[in-house]
Amino acid sequence: MEITHIEHIGIAVQNLNEAIKFYENVLGLKCYAIEEVKDQRVKTAFFMVGQTKIELLETTDPEGPIGKFIEKKGEGIHHIAFAVKNIENQLQTLQQKEIKLIDNQPRKGAEGLDIAFLHPKSTFGVLMELCENKENK
């Protein structure tokens, strides 16, 4: 595995607008993008912290992954995303090591990144995402 840095930390929130106010007014961060990712049934808001982002996630569907997460566990940290190179190769290597994957192939996430999730059963309880920015190397 070749991880370059923590790309972002995904945080599930009930109300994106209320959460944005906290991140801006209390933490002093600036929301630089709001984007709906239809595939994952979420609306996302991004903040830059050094070279790492905070990704706030509000569900657009109670049955979506974030809706179910909040119902079960409440608001809080949802996943951690690592920036990698050659995401396809990384997924292959993980499969060879019999790590359980949610995505066997990368798909498109927010900000045009190629992303894939690892199953928390194989990662000591943490939902992990790999992402690669192919457009901006």
Which residues sit at the interface with Zn ion, rule CB under 5 A? 10, 81, 129
Residue 108 burial class via C-beta count within 10 angstroms: exposed 0-12, middle 13-18, buried 19 and up: exposed
Q: Which two tokens stand for residue 110?
A: 């927010």
Residue nearest to Zn ion (CB): 10
In whole angstroms, how close is the CB of 115 to Zn ion at the nearest point? 7
Phi, psi at 134, each rounded to 5°: -85, -20
Q: Which is nearer to Zn ion, 96 or 127 (CB)?
A: 127
Q: Which is nearer to Zn ion, 42 or 96 (CB)?
A: 42
Inter-residue contact 54 to 29 (CB < 8 Å): yes
In whole angstroms, how close is the CB of 79 to Zn ion at the nearest point? 6
In whole angstroms, how close is the CB of 93 to Zn ion at the nearest point? 21
Inter-residue contact 91 to 101 (CB < 8 Å): yes
Q: Which is nearer to Zn ion, 79 or 96 (CB)?
A: 79
